Structure 1
Amino acid sequence: MSRSDVESKAGRHHGPPPGFKRLRLTIAYCGTPWRGWQSQEGGGGIQDEINTAIRKATRIETRVQGSGRTDAGVHALAQTAHCDVPDTVRMSTEAWAHALNACLPLTIRILNVEECPPLFHARFDAAGKTYRYRIWRPRMLSPFEADRAWHVYGPLDLDAVRWCCEKLVGTHNFVRLSANRGDMPETERRQRTEKTTRTIHRAELREDGDLLTLEFSGDGFLYKMVRLIVGSLIHVARGREPKEWFARLLTDPTGPQSNQTAPACGLYLVRVEYPQGPI
């Protein structure tokens, strides 16, 4: 059993210790200056910044648990996290949000704080997520879109992109459209199809003037899965591979992985879904 499996098994059943309550946080952040969500040795993770803000605001040592990791440079409109705090801290949820924002850099904001059931877990209870990817089309990148969108100039076959988006909807083995996080050999990862199979409920392309937006909703997303999907879609849109090549990435798990990874700057975690509804 892998370390992640052990953490998953334990994390589903453990609530806060006696004398503590659990808070659920909704967080927005600009990922540009940060090394991703995950706590990093030496700091620089968004998780590190929120842990530090809690300590500064309340002198409480706790560890915020997020719904999942976002890579360095990836943004979030509504990341979900939870943490455990002593019952003796008599702060309203509004006061918690105000206190934490006062201690956080402006690129990280706590949008909402609420008390939640003691067994709620931001990661293990998540039923689905929605990601958005923004692509800027004109020859010149707007200075207001720097580090906020992928600059893709030139002709694109958007009908081919829409065809591929239709193929995405459903349950597939995404082993060729995801990356190995390094916790197991690639040969083992390819054998454990239950680890790489996900269901996409919605895959949409929208055109809004100079901006293209791709949005994906599903029951879960693997490491770099959205960036590899988008990079592969644009590869097809540029005419460098036929649309059938993209379809084979979904239907033939024995082939090589796609190496078309879109940059992190255009990716946004839009929302996290839970059984009782979105946060």
Structure 2
Amino acid sequence: MSRSDVESELGLNVGPPPGWRRLRLHIAYCGTPWRGWQSQTIGGGIQDELNAAVLKATRVQTMVHGSGRTDAGVHALEQVAHMDVPESLNLRPEAWMKALNACLPLTIRVVEVAYCEPSFHARFSACGKVYRYRIWRNPWLSPFEADRVWPVHGPLDMDSLQTCLSSLVGTHNFACLSANRGDMPETLRRTMPEKTTRTIHRAEMRLEGGILELEFEGDGFLYKMVRLMVGSLMQVARGRATADWFQDLLTNPKAVQSNQMAPAGGLYLVRVLY
């Protein structure tokens, strides 16, 4: 097992080995053509493309570690990652950015590079994230927004939407508004609130130019949690479910899990908080 594998398995940040330095990367990407952030056995993960770009640019094999996974089709305005590189590669941050972008597909861009403390870890040093979901409200969908918004037509009950949105702020057990990754039976996951409890610090909406944006800031987000929150909120706003149903998802750990998942294309990782 490699050093990177050990770090992933144990959840430890062992820092760069002797003779290596740690780089912090800020990355933007359009998720439409990719199978999500995480490296895939068959390729197609954004992490795969970044690892390949480092190898092509420097002939050094290393592992780019992200702050967390994004699903297939989900976009990022600012994903954060780190990687360890030999000190012998004495490149300025600007040179790193230019070299990596020259080797990356145009749908993935490194927008900032900096040398950082050896103790920095893109995932374990993070204290929160901000996600934004974009909902298209105009009568016709712009072809330039395809796979980047969720078109939702018809009237919306904005008061009920605001009430349910506001109720998300605080610390809740999100077992009913998240999905099971498949690493344990759902019956077991429901008995472990320490794994499914998160704190939402901010949940806001704004409507501008025919696009409804829902933005969430929290200390962490579970698997498919934002998409299930948005899909469930839209069920209430469209009059297909009640506000009481939504509240039950937040307060009743025995409630039936929501299956109202918003499409991936409208979701954006806005920034990672440290």
State the TM-score, normalizing by the size of structure 2.
0.96
Provide the residue aligned with 1:76 in structure 2.
Answer: 76
Provide the residue aligned with 1:277 in structure 2.
Answer: none
Contact residue 8 and residue 124 of structure 1 kept, 8 A: no
Contact residue 11 and residue 121 of structure 1 kept, 8 A: no
Contact residue 19 and residue 87 of structure 2 kept, 8 A: yes
Provide the residue aligned with 1:63 in structure 2.
Answer: 63
**Cα distance in 2 for residues equivalent to 1:125 and 1:30:** 25
Structure 2 segments unaligned to the other structure (5+ residues): 1-5
Contact residue 12 and residue 119 of structure 1 kept, 8 A: no
SS at match of 1:12: coil
**Cα distance in 1 for residues equivalent to 2:62 and 2:103:** 15
Corresponding position: 1:222 with 2:222: yes
SS at match of 2:159: helix
State the TM-score, normalizing by the size of structure 1.
0.94
SS at match of 1:28: strand
How far is 1:9 from its partner? 8.0
How far is 1:264 from its partner? 0.1
Corresponding position: 1:253 with 2:231: no
Provide the residue aligned with 2:45 in structure 1.
Answer: 45
Count of equivalent residues: 269
Q: Cα RMSD between the aligned structures?
A: 1.1
Provide the residue aligned with 1:174 in structure 2.
Answer: 174
**Cα distance in 2 for residues equivalent to 1:36 and 1:170:** 29
- Cα offsets for 1:12-65 (capped at 9, x unmatched): 340011111100000000000000000001210000000000000000100100
Amino acid at match of 2:18: P
Amino acid at match of 2:171: T
Amino acid at match of 1:37: W
SS at match of 2:235: helix
Provide the residue aligned with 1:113 in structure 2.
Answer: 113
Amino acid at match of 1:162: Q
Identity value in percent: 69
Provide the residue aligned with 1:138 in structure 2.
Answer: 138
Runs ≥4 residues deviating over 6 A: none
SS at match of 2:199: strand
**Cα distance in 1 for residues equivalent to 2:51 and 2:8:** 21
SS at match of 1:119: coil
Amino acid at match of 1:218: G
